[in-house]
Structure 1
Amino acid sequence: MTIDTTNMCSHLQKKLFEPEGVYYPIWQAMQDDETLTAVVRSRQLHIYRNGKKILVLAGKAQPKIIREDKIQELITRL
């Protein structure tokens, strides 16, 4: 999966793409699951499963859970 990171918060980039980042397990899960897609809006990462928004990740704010989804297991480890 590729994401246009030009409008992504630098804090979020570190949390998501660096192996020691707290969101890195989510990034890895997104690579292995074809039903997950993502888009950057307002410097945040909006994650969708089968076209329905499930999660919003921000750089400094807490993750916002939109719908119940198995990817939330990766968030509870934070």
Structure 2
Amino acid sequence: MMPNTEKCEKYWPDQGMTNKYGEVGLENLEEITDGGFKVRKLIVISNAECWSRKNGCFHCHRYVTRRIQSPDIS
């Protein structure tokens, strides 16, 4: 069995940077690396006419994958 090798596109900005997607911005405040994971503290910023708002969130990214082979059943 082949492992799923699809990867997601990088949509988060580098640490200290901001990416804009239309009227929404995404700012990367901090990155912490621990045991094969990166945890990012992100701020989502909206500049829409009807409201202006900032919301915080955390992004957990597993960047180390363990390859597990299927048992030989032949």
TM-score range, shorter chain: 0.3 to 0.5
Higher RCO (CA-CA < 8 Å; seq separation 6+): 1
TM-score (norm 1): 0.32
The structure carrying a bigger strand percent of its residues is 2
The structure carrying a bigger helix percent of its residues is 1
Larger radius of gyration: 2
